[in-house]
Amino acid sequence: QQQVKQSPQSLIVQKGGISIINCAYENTAFDYFPWYQQFPGKGPALLIAIRPDVSEKKEGRFTISFNKSAKQFSLHIMDSQPGDSATYFCAASKMRYSGAGSYQLTFGKGTKLSVIP
């Protein structure tokens, strides 16, 4: 059972354009939604994260939009640059301390972004 669905699988964007990657989750217990960026041969690097008490979070050129009722969230990369070419993963986990259990990340399948000059 895939609890986090990510689309598209791949994305080609012109330099300066906006890259948009979408994710949908099923488990309503999730309350922490990070995005990771992974370059070939490297480990995933935390890019930006959001909690469901806000609908949007912006850090530089990266923005997460969150729709709690639709159980969807998306990553927007403004003014996309060739250096942004990487694979992006959305993820979800529990953050509210419940006294037990784990906070492991459930990942989407990833989106390979190519930004062409």
Partner 1 sequence: DSGVTQTPKHLITATGQRVTLRCSPRSGDLSVYWYQQSLDQGLQFLIQYYNGEERAKGNILERFSAQQFPDLHSELNLSSLELGDSALYFCASSVGLRENEQFFGPGTRLTVL
Question: Which CB atom, from 32 or from 114, has the smaller least distance to partner 1?
Answer: 32
Smallest gap from residue 20 Cβ to partner 1 (A): 20
For residue 116, with 0-12 CB atoms within 10 Å meaning exposed, 13-18 middle and 19 or more buried, which class applies?
Answer: exposed
Question: Applying CB under 8 A, does 93 fall inside the site for partner 1?
Answer: yes
Question: Applying CB under 8 A, does 1 fall inside the site for partner 1?
Answer: no
Alpha-carbon distance of 53 to 68, in angstroms, equals 9
Question: Applying CB under 8 A, does 107 fall inside the site for partner 1?
Answer: yes
Question: Applying CB under 8 A, does 40 fall inside the site for partner 1?
Answer: no
Whether the Cβ atoms of residue 5 and residue 56 lie closer than 8 Å to each other: no
Candidates 89, 111, 113, 115: give the one binding partner 1 (CB under 8 A).
89
Q: Which helix (H) or strand (E) holds 11?
A: strand 10-14
Alpha-carbon distance of 51 to 72, in angstroms, equals 12
- Which residues are at the interface with partner 1 (CB under 8 A)? 32, 34, 36, 41-46, 49, 89, 93, 95, 97, 101-110
